[in-house]
Chain A
Amino acid sequence: LAKTTQPISMDSYEGQEVNITCSHNNIATNDYITWYQQFPSQGPRFIIQGYKTKVTNEVASLFIPADRKSSTLSLPRVSLSDTAVYYCLVALYSSASKIIFGSGTRLSIRP
């Protein structure tokens, strides 16, 4: 079963835009792509979700190409408080038993 793939870690500076890409080659036709944020000693928290093209909310944007085999989470003007682990989630084959969290990307923001 092909799992999602993300960079292990990324570094950036306050005020910069950060883009994190997740690959999900076996995504099913009706699966959504969801991104979660996790701070140390806490459960993950929903950030954004999309099916295709582009989705934007007050904290992030999500870009999904036409083939949907990857997605990119974009965080505009990051701050120190954005330091966290970011996971992309798909449910391959549209079954809850196949819910796959990526390995996560540890994002570190420096002053």
Chain B
Amino acid sequence: NAGVTQTPKFQVLKTGQSMTLQCAQDMNHNSMYWYRQDPGMGLRLIYYSASEGTTDKGEVPNGYNVSRLNKREFSLRLESAAPSQTSVYFCASSESGTGSYSSYEQYFGPGTRLTVT
């Protein structure tokens, strides 16, 4: 099992350009998440998807859109990149059920390092 995979690993954009970060998991998890991590900071939740067909905003959703393409894939799109979106982006997945989200172990991908100039 590959676990959680992310593409690309690195990306440099100019201000105003758009791009999509891809994430896929092979653990048959229902829930998927996108986080950003700024240098020296903790992780902040951008969007999450509790199950296929549903998406919801996290703590810092502005400037981003997401698509839960199917159970395996969850993409993050930057429509018009800004320097403030320079960060490392992590995708994660977990099982889900009737319990609290914090009760389910999250499995993280290796991250995408994005620089916006």
Chain A residues engaging chain B, CB cutoff 8 angstroms:
28, 30-34, 36, 41-46, 49, 51, 87, 89-91, 94-104
> Which residues from chain B sit less than 8 Å from chain A, CB to CB?
4, 31, 33, 35, 41-45, 48, 50, 56-59, 90, 92, 99-103, 105-111
Given contact pairs A42-B110, A43-B111, A103-B41, A95 touches B101 in the complex (Cβ within 8 A): yes
Q: What residues on A are CB-neighbors of B44 within 8 Å?
A: 101
- Our count of residue pairs bridging A and B at CB distance below 8 angstroms stands at 79
Q: By the criterion CB–CB under 8 Å, are B109 and A28 in contact?
A: no
- In the assembled complex, the Cα of A91 lies from the Cα of B48 at a distance in Å of 13
A101 and B43 contact, Cβ closer than 8 Å, known pairs A43-B111, A91-B102: yes
Q: Which of A30, A43, A90, A98 has the most CB of B within 10 A?
A: A43
Interface SS majority for chain A: mixed
Instruction: Say yes or no: A46-B43 contact (C-beta < 8 A), given A30-B99, A94-B101.
Output: no
Whether A44 lies near B43 (C-beta < 8 A) is yes
Q: A32 vs B50: C-alpha distance in the bound complex, in angstroms?
A: 18
Contact B42 A102 (CB under 8 A): yes
A53 to chain B, nearest CB (A): 16
Q: In the complex the two chains form, what is the Cα distance from A34 to B111 in whole Å? A: 21
